[in-house]
Amino acid sequence: MNFEKTVKQGRILNPLKGFEEDTITFEYRTDPLTGRNTTVIKGMLNYISKFLVSDEDLLNSLVEKTRTDCPFCPESVKTKTPMFPRDFLREGRILVGDAVVIPNLLGHAEQSILVVLSKEHHLKLKDFTRKLFFDGFKGGSAFLRRLREVESEIRFPVFVFNYLSPAGSSIFHPHMQVLVRDRPFYLVKLLLEKSKIYHENNGSSYWSDLISTEKKREERYLFEGNGVDWLVPFAPLRGLNEVQAIVKGKSNLLELSDKEWLGLAEGLSKILKFYHKQEYLSFNIIIVSGPMTEHLDYFDVNLRIISRPGIQALSFTDAWALPYLLWDGEAVEVPELLAEKIRKSLK
């Protein structure tokens, strides 16, 4: 496995140092599977850190304002949210613990559902417990199993979690989405194609090779538990505190047992505790899957989580032109340093 990087430098006369000549370092890293570039820029996390914390007063006022007509709060969830058609699910909604699974009013795919995760309208990141995630995952996977009984052709599911408006969520109340289509999302298609080629060329799975290589190298590896390995990617997709998890040997979401769902739930709750300590409050998660119709030896279900900017009057966003339109990656912290910070914080 090749972790390829090239270091380039730019020169400026720096006004902060009396116009002395200064060099800025750019590290171009190639993703070992996709070949996509991510530029690591040392010092950038510090430079943008003022945009990553939140204005507490503004946050609190938004929590109260959005609570008044929230469709997901316990008093409204049964009267203001859609139900599944009776022939799909007689009870109309799936309930697991505090999680409530409902169809999306508008949605993003032909099968688009929401998992309301909590009775609380707002949660700090430290309060996303493993039980909360686990119940949500069980609810989402119960929907997938029912969907497979009814529509055997539908193949590609993803779990998506956008928490708070900086992460693109229009509703404050904690909720996940499950989207299922007849065709994969672009990233899933790319990962499947590249994993297949890797398998043909090397006679082994990229994902198990990645885990064993990263475990040996230690610098980016975080921890494992219940069949799930956690690490900081060498060339992050988005690069704001990005962590990746891999579910060993399971190529689609229907193959996951309770043990592995728990592994994902536990790991997420740990990473969010780390984010909380850094004073972040917004994040995105994706869990990507191979087709539900077959097992693939060359692909493992995997997850990415990133933090997002804080809630502030300025509405700074890290979804700017370079990642959003040019499709390149930029890491604002050296991945190995991020891994070290997370490991220390979990001790």
Binding site for Zn ion (CB under 5 A): 70, 72-73, 121, 173
Closer CB to Zn ion, 117 or 191, in the complex = 117
Taking the CB of residue 218, how many other CB atoms lie within 10 A of it?
10
* Residue 329 identity: G
Q: Are 216 and 208 in contact (CB under 8 A)?
A: no
Give least dist CB 72 to Zn ion, A: 5
Give least dist CB 5 to Zn ion, A: 45
**Which residue number places its CB atom closest to Zn ion?**
70
Give least dist CB 173 to Zn ion, A: 3
Give least dist CB 121 to Zn ion, A: 3
Q: Are 176 and 136 in contact (CB under 8 A)?
A: yes
Closer CB to Zn ion, 72 or 230, in the complex = 72
What is the torsion angle, in degrees rounded to the nearest 10, for the CA atoms of residue 133, residue 139, residue 145 and residue 147? -120
Closer CB to Zn ion, 73 or 125, in the complex = 73
Closer CB to Zn ion, 121 or 270, in the complex = 121
HEC readout, 52-82: HCCCHHHHHHHHHHHHCCCCCCCCCHHHHCC
Contacts of residue 54, defined as CB under 8 A and 6 or more positions apart, other chains included, come to: 279, 281, 310, 311, 312
Closer CB to Zn ion, 97 or 323, in the complex = 97
Give least dist CB 99 to Zn ion, A: 14
Taking the CB of residue 136, how many other CB atoms lie within 10 A of it?
29
